[in-house]
Homo-oligomer: A and B are copies of this chain.
């Protein structure tokens, strides 16, 4: 089942190898997810986020590709946890691929049952954009991380200027690897603790991180030097957070912002326990998963306790979406939830306007196509200073990984207007091949995750997961190119349900129609979800933009 001799790279250029651009896009984006520049561990089909995979196994991968190649423009391929299970005739305004990953009936929805199913070849972990073929590398999370840091600063010290400030965090993997660069973009000194040396090396090669150090004191000397100079810099420190965080605390240092993005969502195949070296941990994981799980959870307890200590000393502390508080609480850290998740703390107001991690990729493979879209963003949204600033920084600081792409948080109304303009540029040939528009499942209306995206909803509806399902059904009705429904992304098995969608702008009139439907309804469901929960910003947005909410209509 191993793919020892094959490096996956998406074809580029404007020649079709499938029977239509939607199939071609699905194929290229699946392959792009496994591009060694993009994926964390392509040999095992792992894209990011612990064991988030793009296909169940290599046999399934090849069958998906082969099926996409012969799929007609009125057919739909059905993918169940990374395996192609059927093709049915639908119609040209229906999605070309429908995907469901890692969904388990609730009473069985835990990691143990998942791993049982996985070991029997019946399931894979789809994370969010791994199994739905719209991961675009570290950039995908970069803008969100940057926004969170800026908002945390704004809240903590009333200023978006983070120069001279220290951010302390953990994890430099697939998504967490965005942290050093995001912190730097925000102007801070960023210290990231990562247990696996190789991960830091990779981020240095990619230009996401400036320094690698192995010693706490050396790290703190660098921190001091750059804080004094008020110079933005990022430092990767090889170590376990549960060792390093308490050590820094003991020294009396109080970072301005403390968070964590280690793979704590998965205490068996993600998070690394302390009290042993990295290699020993890998051996224990294989030999005795039960013992490993216990040690990992205990380590999270220590890790979270240190974060609570920092909070008590005045740091702005938040959970960065890996569910570490829940596992720490399990091991007895009763007040683990004393620090908030990043969504209620900083992101929800954006969700109320339908804003979230929108992104696009150029199927041509040509960076010039993305630069053209960058110019379009700056033209169309010239009055949005921070967005223009974002595009300028992104161009300067982000290296391409796989197909050139751009992350850009746009909200209801802007997404479809922008995509329609891009579709025109594809039609005229100014952009050389179709552009693929997608988003994270962490978005305005596409996720229920009570320890993360829907933590602390105003009306108490955190755990209601009707919403992501309706989002997926509606995007299917609207004619997205592919639609997915996942369970367990971000925070692990049992803790979330969420949906994704991707839509292809191939320059045709049909694509424009689909864009006009899907890129309105997709963020529109986000606004509606927050209207229902009683958020004023969402209610205002719905009124202003004319989103029809029956319960707000006094005339019917």
Which positions in A face B, CB cutoff 8 Å? 60, 63-64, 66-67, 69-70, 76-78, 80-81, 83-91, 93-95, 98, 100-109, 113, 117, 120, 122-123, 448-450, 459-467, 469-470, 472-474, 476-479, 483, 485, 487, 493-497, 513, 517, 520-521, 524-525, 528-529, 531-532, 547-551, 556
Contact = CB atoms under 8 A, between A and B. Distances in A.
A470 B79 CA distance: 8
Contacts of A529: 85
B483 A524 contact: no
Given A63-B551, A109-B106, A450-B108, A474 B88 contact: yes
A529 B517 CA distance: 31
A97 to B, nearest CB: 10
Nearest to A485: B469
Nearest to A465: B103
A98 B470 contact: yes
B556 A63 contact: yes
Given A98-B477, A548-B87, A550-B86, A103 B521 contact: no
A337 to B, nearest CB: 14
A105 B474 contact: no
Given A63-B556, A86-B525, A464 B103 contact: yes
A485 to B, nearest CB: 5
Given A521-B90, A524-B88, A547-B86, A532 B80 contact: yes
Given A466-B100, A473-B472, A485-B469, A497 B105 contact: yes
Pairs A-B, 5 closest by C-beta atoms:
A106-B109, A106-B106, A100-B466, A66-B556, A108-B463
Contacts of A117: 460-461, 463-464
Given A107-B494, A449-B105, A98 B474 contact: yes
A123 to B, nearest CB: 6
A97 B493 CA distance: 30
